[in-house]
Amino acid sequence: MKKQLALSTIVLLSGVINAQGVILSCAQEPLLFPKQILSTDTESLDVLADRSEISKKDNYLLTGNVSLNSSQYYLAADTINIQKS
């Protein structure tokens, strides 16, 4: 029983030690794909989201099962920030 307790303690502590090197904030990491214009034709852009919010005059925050569909691209994410210019 003592050997099992010692072994389980070592296993748990090794997981804690390894977890210290993990970065939990994605804001510090570079983007996986470069930012790009999805479509210049706003009439053919379909937007679906559970919630939407106008954060500034031309900034839109879409959250919850967000999808953008244009004639060339499809984008799906949990959160999308649109900057209209």
Q: For position 52, which CATH number holds?
A: 2.30.18
Beta bridge partners, 77, equal 66
Summarize pLDDT for 27-79 with one digit per residue, the tens: 666 777 777 776 677 677 888 999 999 877 888 889 999 998 888 888 898 99
Number of domains comprising the chain: 1
In a domain, 69, yes or no: yes
Say if CB 46 and CB 68 are below 8 A apart.
yes
Residue 12 lies in a domain: no
In a domain? residue 76: yes
* Separation of alpha carbons 72 and 68, rounded Å: 11
Range of the domain at 55: 42-85
**85 located within any domain:** yes
Taking only the tens place, the pLDDT of each residue in 1-29 is 666 776 666 655 554 444 445 555 566 66
Does 59 map to a domain? yes
Tell me whether residue 73 is in a domain: yes
- Record the tokens describing residue 29, joined without a space: 């990491």
